[in-house]
Structure formats: C-alpha cells, structure tokens
Amino acid sequence: MCDVIGRRKILGLAGGALLTSAAGAGPLQAQAGARQTDGTLPRWFDVRAYGAAGDSKAKDKAAIQKAIDACHDARGGVVCFPPGE
C-alpha cells in the first residue's frame, strides 16, 4: 500500500487537484481498514500505475489526473502517492 503523506504535500504535487475516496473516508481511515458503504474495502489507485515518475523532474500532472479519473469512474477509492522526490 501507499504511504500516507500530508495534505499540503499532496496539494503541491497534484497542483491543487482534489482527491476523492468512497464514503468520505480519508487515506488514514482507508489504510486502517475502513470499509466502503457497501462493506467492501476501498480500491487503491497508485499514481505510478498511471505513468507518474515521482522523480521531481517529470511533469506528473496528467498521470495524477488519470488516477483521479479512474477512481471516479470506479465510483470511489483512494488515490495514493508513493514516496518520491
């Protein structure tokens, strides 16, 4: 699973994009095993799986947006940002 990072760091990396999660559960709740309203565990959407490099050189905005869109299309989940530069 992804490490949980602070809100300011996420907003700095994502360029202000809003992250969504099912039933309003935040990353800490989801990582702790909080369940969605239908009783299932939340889906995780790792930005690296959508093309983000996380090397502080590449522009990852498009990959982050793809992960957010996939989370939305799946009707909820957690967009996570693994450690990077």
pLDDT digits (tens, 9 = 90+) for 36-60: 667 677 899 999 999 999 999 999 9
Lowest mean pLDDT among 24-28, 66-70, 73-77, 78-82: 24-28
Instruction: Give residue 85's pLDDT.
Output: 85
Residue 20 binned pLDDT confidence (cut-offs 50, 70, 90): very low
Residue 44 lies in a domain: yes
Query: Does 73 have pLDDT greater than 90?
Result: yes
Q: Which residues contact 23 (CB under 8 A, 6 or more apart)?
A: 34, 36, 37, 76
Is 1 inside a domain boundary?
no
Does residue 85 belong to any structural domain of this protein? Answer: no
Q: Which domain holds residue 63?
A: 7-80
DSSP string, 37-79: TTSPPPPEEEGGGGT---SSSS--HHHHHHHHHHHHHTT--EE
Kindly report whether the global pTM for this prediction surpasses the value 0.75. Answer: no
34: in domain: yes
Q: Is residue 60 part of a domain?
A: yes
- Total domains present in the chain: 1
Instruction: Return d(Cα 60, Cα 4) in angstroms, integer.
Output: 18
